[in-house]
């Protein structure tokens, strides 16, 4: 684990990708670490593909080069396929084992890979698949799946669990703090069985 780490978070608008990246950014601040991040705006309500770049320890530009991400958090399998070329040779991908089929694919009858096919196209990577939706429900709300994902990636991110949890508290609505801390822990525990 190096001191600097480029983390790419991808998903579908509305899944809380930007909030997940804010947790990493706030944790950097708490640990006195420089950070740069870039995000896609305006997709939250419109279901588009969303990518957030977070460069822990970054002092220059906010964008991660393809092949440079130490960790990818993919909230959706189709987005995992779309962005897998960003992963560094020794990087790890944490992926939610589910797929939102794009509406345009239904409308135009485009071929969409199944969950199993998609996982198959990721098998050559250091992959940690988990059912973030189910864990989020267990934590108390499907909306916490973004924090489940952050928890699952946390062992591979050079930030302390304490700093990340404090950042979760700062970043989520006050009423949902307990639920989100539980989601973080459930994700972290689930990822422990990955290896």
Partner 1 sequence: MERRYSLGNEAIAHAALEAGADLVAGYPGTPSSEVIDILRVQKDRELHVEWSVNEKVAFENALAAAWCGQRALATMKHVGLNVAADPLMTSAYTGVTGGFVIMSADDPFAHSSQNEQDSRCYAKFAQLPCLDPASVQEAHDMLIDAFALSESLGIPVIFRPTTRICHSRSDVTFGPVSSDHRKGEFRRDPRQYVVIPAHTRILHRKLDEKQPLVVKAIADRGYNRAEIRGKTAVVAGGIAAAYVQEYLPPSVSFVKIGAYPIDPSWLKDVIRKHDRVLVFEEGDPIIEEQVLQVAGTVPVRGKKTGSVPLEGEFSPAVVASILAKEGLIPQDAVPVPGKSVPDLPPRPPILCAGCMHRATFHAMKRVFRDGIFPSDIGCYTLGLQLGAVDTTICMGASLTVGSGISHSGEPRDVVCTIGDSTFLHTGIPGLMNAVYNGARMTVVILDNRITAMTGHQPNPGTGETATGEPSPPVSLEAICRACGVTFVETISPHDLPTMLDVMKRAKATDGVKVIIARQTCVITARKAGIRRGVYAVDPEVCTGCETCVKFGCPAIEFRDEKAVITGLCSGCGICAQICPSGAIGKEVKR
79 or 181: whose CB is closer to partner 1? 79
Q: How far apart are CA 45 and CA 195, in angstroms?
A: 36
Element (H, E) at 117: helix 115-120
Q: What is the dihedral of CA 135, 91, 53, 112, to 10 degrees?
A: -60
The correct pick among 17, 19, 20, 22 for binding partner 1 (CB under 8 A) is 22
Contact between 102 and partner 1 per CB under 8 A: yes
Nearest residue to 98 (alpha-carbon basis) of 113, 83, 77, 112: 77
Candidates 22-30, 146-154, 156-164, 182-190; binding stretch for partner 1 (CB under 8 A) = 22-30
Contact between 104 and partner 1 per CB under 8 A: yes
35 or 190: whose CB is closer to partner 1? 35
> In sequence order, which ranges of 4-102 are alpha helices (DSSP H)?
17-30, 77-83
Residues near partner 1, by CB under 8 A:
12-13, 21-22, 25-26, 28-29, 33-43, 45-49, 60-68, 78-79, 81-82, 84-89, 101-107, 110-112, 121, 124
């Amino acid at each position: 684990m190096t001191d600097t780490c480029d983390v790419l978070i991808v998903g579908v608008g509305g899944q809380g990708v930007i909030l997940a990246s804010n947790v990493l950014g706030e944790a950097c601040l708490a640990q006195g670490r420089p950070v740069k991040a870039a995000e896609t705006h305006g997709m939250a309500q419109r279901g588009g593909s969303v990518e957030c770049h977070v460069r822990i320890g970054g002092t220059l530009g906010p964008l991660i080069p393809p092949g440079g991400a130490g960790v990818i958090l993919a909230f959706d399998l189709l987005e995992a396929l779309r962005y897998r070329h960003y992963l560094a040779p020794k990087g790890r991908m944490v992926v939610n084992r589910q797929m939102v089929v794009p509406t345009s694919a239904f409308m135009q009858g485009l071929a969409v890979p199944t969950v199993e096919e998609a996982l198959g196209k990721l098998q050559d990577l250091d992959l940690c698949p988990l059912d973030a939706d189910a864990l989020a429900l267990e934590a108390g709300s499907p909306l916490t799946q973004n924090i489940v994902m952050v928890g699952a990636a946390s062992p591979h991110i050079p930030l302390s669990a304490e700093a990340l949890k404090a950042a979760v508290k700062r970043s989520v609505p006050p009423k949902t703090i307990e639920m989100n801390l539980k989601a973080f822990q459930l994700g972290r525990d689930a990822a422990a069985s990955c290896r």
